[in-house]
Structure 1
């Protein structure tokens, strides 16, 4: 079972953590004249992120403004909570960090250990008709009897799911989750999830929404169903029922336009495309074989990707790659625009990598090589081509730079990449098409 944790209005929560007077009030976290995010009371007024601060002030002249241009504080808090969860809450469980405010946790280990304990003990407390027998312990039921989580007394374990379920009309009571091991695993996972979010709230001061499901994608989608501070279990067996009703574009990381219809549901997509037709459409959009198979699986609620625990030591490389439909990028102007988007994404990946930059925004290790890889829509270069250069010194200003300066740095990196861009035979700046671009930093060396 997988937990997907999303910290509610994280930038706002961090500001409230350091300035408690903000709690419960409408306020805006801004960057330049752009609303980066808004508190929940501000959302209740109708304000939304990515709007203009000047327009918001016309509507609500007394609303409080908080400068959020420096992300250092948010990064430090994100890492602090991540380290707390890894070292004190689910020690031994794989934890994958996604950006500053999201986590995936694979709790399969403690779920299996607790399942064994429950089947050997707790279920004997239930009578044949689901009633609780007289020998029910008054002080609660011990769960998490495993090496990964310390045992504790769960006082409401014998009652129900401690949150929401999908589908909404499904029972949340324990007896209705005892008909199979998979159902019981889901029930146990919901109580582990409650334990995790309670610990985070108690020790770190942040509220979290959590989704519980059998894989990463479904848990992430479940997490969004009852924000803020919601706990949502996707009941086993109802995964496809849930997916069929949602738009294809709501599936995380499903980067493929089907039939040009942004409102197309998963059920409609499956009715419209056979697997062969789907694969052809995905191929025409520049997706490789592995990506095509993964997208098809996602339509059917299948996600075999594992929760990747953070590795020890510096990464071998950090990279961002994107693919493009045939003939969508036809000249160097289009390549330049695509490269800037990739470079900005790479900046965020660098800043989120705790093995590269520490909590004080100092480099722990520095890359030495900047690499550009590409694949052309050209018969002379059908395969991947790569070129490299030294990392320009100005990249190392990144951890302390403002959002405006970050755009300038990205432009400079793109200029550097275009200098080493390898044109295909018979190609020119006015006529060159690409299907894939990848920008990577490699050759990391310690700064000590």
Structure 2
């Protein structure tokens, strides 16, 4: 019998998970709102990558073949979604909008359509402001230094749905559990952000609220679309109470739990079933036909953290993987919501194929993927260059924008430079004697240094992609597949990793940008600068100037010479490194500058010439 100890829970955070509804389709619907009421789908290759809820109501679904979709719903409207730049741009815009509500900058994006937001600080701040005797008329402050910016709320109730469905609380109770109160405020903040996102950007989303990333991501799925759900206490099984977190997790299929990948899920299914599970047939890799739930694994008499460590550990697996999986089965996830980054950790592009096994086909696909990868690098890794001068100051024959392949690089600089280039492939398994083929999800990869020429902004993406294929990618591919043909690949992925951020102002930047710092110095120090402005001398009209007589010039010359002799010794005691020009004198007649000790002789020269 296994040791069924319960991992310790840490439920001090409030985490919101945003999942944009039918994101790919929503990007098209934002441009053409009429599509919202029609069956609409987005196509990549020969399958539907997403469809709106009207299309789903008529029997369409993700990863469905186009021919099947048209047969089931003849009036479906289909748009090509091969160019993902429009989806990436929309995702970045929405991410920036949600980020504007964060105080601690802990906001993490997952793919194009999911965002986690840790709102612990803003929720705790507002909990401290609540009047416990009048929770119905509460106010949520959105800006820390401005108490007038925010919205009203009823803190006695949850906003949206709750798990479990039969959850009830006494709205008139003054002895409210602290976690319950914090989750209520988190749900009201999530509702406010959802409504602002729809009103200002035209996108709807589904939201989950809980105390960690795992629960917040999964619980939002209960009320799609345009809904939100909060996992309510008790989350820990103490004092005879049933844990709502464990109850919620138990019904999930093991492969649907974030953090349990395909390989681990397969091992767990095989352990519970004592045989390999069956999969759906079809062109697209199907799901398992046999459902193995979290409860099946967690309640198995032989399963505990140590047993999972033995079952799942292997070459390349992280230490303590068994304990991590045991925690996930109990709805425990202590991973932090990563702080927003100026640049991504890696950039990757991939495509799938029915069969790819000849060199001409490979070169064509590598060229296409390399173009997409370099274009994506320019979109995600270029930022404004403060040192940039306008195009008018550059040579007429250097048109940087024209060589960028639709991505403007004018006035841009690299915010980060990836160091590693990686290629990944997925070969199909050979046919078995009975003519069947065992499904394989195994990927193999090889990495190498990323050539520096990819950062040249004066060359086109096409030219750089062709050079990258010839000088780097083909060599990396041959490390994986030395055969000349017959690889039978179903997938190729290209990626750049190991981002080295350049100097800048972000927290993750590699040092400070000295040039930018000096340019900002004038504005930063303006209020602290003390200026000593000299009054300029009045202009002198030489023509009308009175020329002194001989006796006055001679007398003045003798006095100035004496002053120089004594004053210079006195000054030398304080500063023996003064500039010689500091002792220069200017002739009042010819305005010639000369050392003071020579001025007497020069004045006598004028007297002699005037005789």
Same fold, TM-score > 0.5, yes or no: yes
Q: Name the SS for the 1:66 alignment partner.
A: strand
Could you tell me how far 1:21 is from its partner in structure 2? 1.8
Matched, 1:162 2:152: no
Alignment of 1:160-309 (within 5 A): 160-171=157-168, 174-175=171-172, 178-236=175-233, 237=235, 238-255=244-261, 256-257=264-265, 258-260=268-270, 261=273, 263-272=291-300, 273-284=303-314, 287-309=317-339
Aligned match for 1:109, one of 116, 121, 138:
121
Moved more, 217-226 or 437-446: 437-446
> Does the C-alpha gap of structure 1 residues 290 and 7 become closer, same or farther in structure 2, counting only changes over 3 Å?
same
The structural deviation recorded for 1:151 is 5.2
Matched, 1:125 2:150: no
Q: Structure 1 residues 239, 305: CA separation in 2 closer, same or farther (over 3 Å shift)? A: same
Q: Give the conservation status (yes or no) of the 8 Å contact 1:109–1:148.
A: no
Q: For structure 2, which runs of at least 5 residues remain unmatched after alignment?
A: 1-13, 236-243, 274-289, 349-364, 385-405, 425-444, 483-492, 503-611
Say whether the 8 Å CA contact 1:387–1:422 is kept in structure 2: no
Query: Is 2:79 aligned against 1:79?
Result: no
Paired residue for 1:59, among 55, 64, 72?
A: 72
SS at match of 1:206: coil
Q: TM-score, normalised by structure 1?
A: 0.72
Task: Mark the CA change 1:55 to 1:248 in structure 2 (over 3 Å): closer, same or farther.
Answer: closer
Task: Give, in angstroms, the shift of residue 292 of structure 1.
Answer: 3.8
Within the alignment, does 1:417 sit opposite 2:495 as a pair? no
1:161·1:174 contact (CA, 8 Å) conserved in 2?
no
**1:98/1:145 CA distance change after superposition, 3 Å:** closer
Cα RMSD for the two superposed structures: 4.3
Contact 1:318 1:350 (8 Å CA) reproduced: no
Distance change in 2, residues 1:22/1:100 (3 Å): same
The structure-2 alpha-carbon separation of the partners of 1:37 and 1:177, relative to structure 1 and needing over 3 Å to count, comes to farther
TM-score by length of 2: 0.54
Q: In structure 2, what is the equivalent of residue 332 of structure 1?
A: none
User: 1:29: Cα distance to partner?
Assistant: 1.2
Does structure 1 retain, via aligned residues, the 8 Å contact 2:313–2:321?
Answer: no
Aligned partners of 2:49 and 2:455: how far apart in 1?
A: 24
Aligned to 1:370: 420
Aligned length: 380
Q: CA 1:412–1:175 in 2, change beyond 3 Å: closer, same or farther?
A: farther
Shift in Å, 1:388: 2.5
Q: Cα offset for 1:247?
A: 2.0
Q: Secondary structure at the match of 1:23?
A: helix
Compared CA separation, residues 75 and 269, structure 1 to 2 (3 A):
same
Q: In 2, distance between residues paired with 1:362 and 1:441?
A: 23
- Deviation sequence 1:167-216 (CA, Å, 0-9, x none): 00001664479531111111111111111111111111111110000000
Question: Are 1:388 and 1:420, in contact at CA under 8 Å, matched by a contact in 2?
Answer: no
* Bigger Rg, structure 1 or 2: 2
Q: Is the 8 A contact 2:39 2:55 kept in 1?
A: yes
Q: CA deviation at 1:412?
A: 10
Asked if the contact 1:72/1:361 (under 8 Å) is kept, the reply is no
- Note closer, same or farther for the CA distance 1:305–1:150 as it changes in structure 2 (3 Å cut): farther
Shift of 1:279: 0.6
Task: Quote the offset at 1:46 in angstroms.
Answer: 0.4
Distance 1:13 1:150, change over 3 A: farther
Shift of 1:117: 1.1
Provide the residue aligned with 1:356 in structure 2. Answer: 381
Equivalents in 2 of 1:169, 1:348: separation in Å?
A: 49
Q: Is the 8 A contact 1:373 1:438 kept in 2?
A: yes
With over 3 angstroms needed to count, the CA separation of the structure-2 counterparts of 1:168 and 1:86, relative to structure 1, is same
Asked if the contact 1:174/1:187 (under 8 Å) is kept, the reply is no
Change (3 A) 1:400 1:252: farther
Distance 1:440 1:65, change over 3 A: closer
The 3-state SS of whatever aligns with 1:49 is coil
CA distance in 2, matches of 1:52, 1:177: 56
Partner residue of 1:25?
38
